[in-house]
Structure formats: C-alpha cells, structure tokens
A and B are shown apart, each in its own frame.
Chain A
Amino acid sequence: MDHQSVGLIARSIEEAGLPTVYLGSCRDMMARLYPPRGVFLNFPLGHQCGKPQDVSLQVSILTDTLNVLSTATEPGQIVDLSYEWDEPYEWTDYTKDIEAMLGEEGGMAQEWKPKET
C-alpha cells in the first residue's frame, strides 16, 4: 500500500512546486495514482532499485529513472523499464517470502485488526 501513499506524496510535492520522479514496482497501484512522472521496474518488492551488491544494475536503474525528469513531456506517464527479473515470481511468492522472512527473523505476523492511532 506504500505505493499508493508514495503516489499521494509525489502529487503533493509536485503541487508544492518541486518536480518529482517516482520509482516503484506495483504498476497497477501506481497507475491509479497518476504520479506526475512514474517509472516502473518489474522486480519483486524489496528490489525497487535493483539487486543487492549489483552496483552497476542499481546505477543503471537509477540513471534511467532520473533521466525521466528531463525526458517526460506530459504529466501522468509511467515509463516501463526493460530490466527483467530472471525467475518467475507471483503473488503467492510474495506472501511466502514474507512468511519465510518472519520465520527467519523471529518476527511477528501482522495483527488481525488495524491498530488504533
């Protein structure tokens, strides 16, 4: 859901007079938000700027993303980066990975009820 929140932040920062570029990996969520300049990387969540220790991949993803600041000509476009995740990955992998992570780290599962704030 952070992809929605960051879209809202992008819109508000842009309204305040600063140009933004928004890099994310949930295309459907980004598209609903119409961020001023969106960039989509089709990688599993947690790798929005690339893979760990792969400096050249990270540099190249970020350079492509920042270039959109200069190349975007109209509001609300999402640029699809062409980098490919080399293994199949779907929703069930996302939830399984989180379970595995919590198991490894001894973390708690999410509480059922939203907390009052």
Chain B
Amino acid sequence: MKPIEYVACLDQMYQSQGFPPYKWSEFDESPWTPFEKPLNEAKIALVSSAGISRDDQEAFDPWAVNGLSFREIPLDTPYEKLKLNHNYFDHRDALKDLNCVFPLQRLKGLEGEGVIGAAAGTAISLGMGRLYKRTALQNETVPRIVDVLKAQQTDAVLLVAA
C-alpha cells in the first residue's frame, strides 16, 4: 500500500460535511531529552490513544470530541477485563488482539526476553477523538500523565497513536 494522505482526505471529508477548515498543528523543531540508559536496563511505559479502559473504569466515548481524560491500566490487567471504545478506526482486528494497538503483553514479553529492562507497572490510555482543546491537553492532561510516569521511575515512553 502507498502511504495515505490522511490530512488532505480528512480535510476534504469534513469540509464536505460543512465543517470549517481545521487548523492542523505544525512545528519545525522538536524538544529533546537524551535517552542515556541502555534499552535493556530501561523501564518503558506505554501510552496509547486507542480508547482502552478497564471494566471497572468509565469507558471512553467511541466518537470522542475533546476527550481530555486518561485511564491508568495496571500491567497485569487480563485483556478480558479491558474494553476498547474508539470508532475513528476499524477496531475489529484490535478486538481480536489488543496488542495491535495496546501492546501490554508484548511489552511484558520484551521484558522477559531482556530487550527492555522492565515494563512500567501502569500504562496510560486516552481516547481523544477530534481535538480542538490542544492547550488543555498539553497544559492540564499531560502534566498528570507525567506525574504517573515519573512516580514509577519511567526511563522512556512508548507512545502508540490510534
């Protein structure tokens, strides 16, 4: 397959439905924190936007708009206790195997094989959907996520977009 031009296609789809043009975020430089530990000694935390929650947590809105909350998912949660609520992508394969978008079991496996030092005990899932409140995401939600990550001595973060 050829890479899909999602920005152009989404713009066309939403504007044809009468939405005003969306102003996409654009940057031309990146922040940088050096990764100094060998990978096989580092504790890696998972952050996924696939709309995953535990059955005792509030589920995400599958058609979220400005979803700014997150769920903490303990690493040892059995997959049958997890739910996925996200309709912006075809999630049928992910429901057969959540590792497609929320690779907790694979991360545990990589710890077992010694590829990474450890998988952090708590993973983070979000379900943001169409996001207009970017400042709130960066200034309110992310600092709370960072607190969770730092409290468990995370060395680096694997982000998976859904």
Which residues of A does B touch, CB under 8 Å? Answer: 1-30, 32-36, 40, 42, 44-53, 55, 58-59, 62-63, 65-67, 69-70, 72, 75-76, 84-85, 87-91, 94-95, 97-98, 100-102, 104, 107-108, 110-112, 114-115, 117
Q: Which of A33, A48, A70, A111 contacts B101 (CB 8 A)?
A: A48
How far apart are the CA atoms of A93 and B126 in the complex, in Å? Answer: 25
Chain B residues near A95: list those with CB within 8 A: 13
Interface string of B1-12 (1 = CB under 8 A from A): 111111111100
* B158 adjacent to A19 (CB under 8 Å): no
Chain A residues near B65: list those with CB within 8 A: 114-115, 117
Using A32-B24, A102-B87 as known contacts, say yes or no to A24 and B161 having CB atoms under 8 A apart: yes
Q: Which of A1, A19, A26, A98 contacts B157 (CB 8 A)?
A: A19
Q: Which of B103, B143, B150 contacts A62 (CB 8 A)?
A: B103
How far apart are the CA atoms of A76 and B32 in the complex, in Å? Answer: 9
* B7 adjacent to A23 (CB under 8 Å): no
* A15 adjacent to B2 (CB under 8 Å): no
* A4 adjacent to B131 (CB under 8 Å): yes
**Centre residue among B30, B93, B126, B142 by max chain A CB count within 10 A:** B30
* B87 adjacent to A3 (CB under 8 Å): no
* B142 adjacent to A16 (CB under 8 Å): yes
* B116 adjacent to A66 (CB under 8 Å): yes
How far apart are the CA atoms of A18 and B146 in the complex, in Å? Answer: 8
* A5 adjacent to B137 (CB under 8 Å): yes
Chain B residues 59 to 73 lying within 8 A of chain A, measured CB to CB, are 62-63, 65-66
New A-B pairs, 7, CB < 8 Å, besides A34-B30, A72-B35:
A10-B159, A21-B156, A23-B159, A29-B7, A42-B1, A49-B99, A63-B115
Chain B residues 4 to 39 lying within 8 A of chain A, measured CB to CB, are 4-10, 13, 17-19, 24-35, 38-39
* B162 adjacent to A52 (CB under 8 Å): no
Q: Which of B30, B88, B141, B160 contacts A49 (CB 8 A)?
A: B160
